[in-house]
Homo-oligomer: A and B are copies of this chain.
Amino acid sequence: MQASETVEISGHLMDSGILSRVLDDIREYGGDYIMDKFDVGHDAHDPSHAVITVTAEDDQALQRLLMRLQTRGVNQVDPGEASTAVVEQDGVFPDGFYSTTNLETRVRLGGRWIPVDNPEMDCGLVVDGADDGVRVFTLPMADVRAGMTVVTGASGIKVVVPLPDKEDGAFGFMESDVSSEKPQAVLVRQVADGMREAKASGRQVLWVGGPGVVHTGAAPAMVALVKAGFVDVLFAGNALATHDIESALYGTSLGIDLAQGRGVEHGHEHHIRAINTIRKAGSISAAVEQGVLTGGIMHALVTQGKTFVLVGSVRDDGPLPDVYTDVIDGQRAMRAEIKDVGFCLMVATMLHSVATGNILPASIPLVCVDINPATVTKLADRGSSQARGIVTDVGLFLEQLAVELVPGYRS
Which A residues are closer than 8 A to B by beta carbons? 13-17, 19-20, 23-24, 26-28, 30, 32-35, 38, 40-44, 50, 64, 67-68, 71, 89, 91-93, 97, 99, 121-122, 140-142, 166, 173-177, 179-187, 190, 212, 215-217, 237, 256-269, 271-273, 275-276, 279-280, 311-319, 321, 325-331, 334, 351-352, 354-355, 358, 371-372, 374, 381-383, 391-393, 395-397, 399-400
Question: Do the beta carbons of B212 and A181 come within 8 Å of each other?
Answer: yes
> Which one, B43, B141, B187, B267, contacts A275 given CB within 8 A?
B141
Closest partner residue, chain B, to A67 (CB atom): B269
Question: Do the beta carbons of A314 and B16 come within 8 Å of each other?
Answer: no
A186 to B326, CA, bound (A): 39
Main secondary structure of the interface of A (DSSP, over half): mixed
Question: Do the beta carbons of B23 and A20 come within 8 Å of each other?
Answer: no
Closest partner residue, chain B, to A33 (CB atom): B44
Question: Do the beta carbons of A312 and B327 come within 8 Å of each other?
Answer: yes
Question: Do the beta carbons of B180 and A371 come within 8 Å of each other?
Answer: yes
Question: Do the beta carbons of A383 and B15 come within 8 Å of each other?
Answer: no
Number of copies: 4
> Which one, B190, B261, B314, contacts A183 given CB within 8 A?
B261
Using known A-B contacts A257-B28, A317-B141, determine if residue A397 contacts B395 with beta carbons closer than 8 Å.
no
Question: Do the beta carbons of B38 and A43 come within 8 Å of each other?
Answer: no
Q: Which of A179, A181, A280, A395 has the most CB of B within 10 A?
A: A181
Cβ of A176: which chain B residues have Cβ within 8 Å of it?
Answer: 24
Closest partner residue, chain B, to A326 (CB atom): B326
Cβ of A393: which chain B residues have Cβ within 8 Å of it?
Answer: 180, 184, 371, 391-393, 396-397
Question: Do the beta carbons of A173 and B260 come within 8 Å of each other?
Answer: yes
A365 to B334, CA, bound (A): 39
Using known A-B contacts A280-B89, A325-B326, determine if residue A314 contacts B237 with beta carbons closer than 8 Å.
yes
> Which one, B32, B276, B391, contacts A371 given CB within 8 A?
B391
Q: Sample 17 A-B pairs with CB under 8 A, ordered by A number.
A: A14-B20, A15-B23, A23-B44, A27-B166, A28-B256, A28-B264, A28-B268, A38-B40, A141-B318, A181-B263, A183-B216, A186-B260, A187-B261, A312-B328, A314-B331, A315-B354, A399-B400
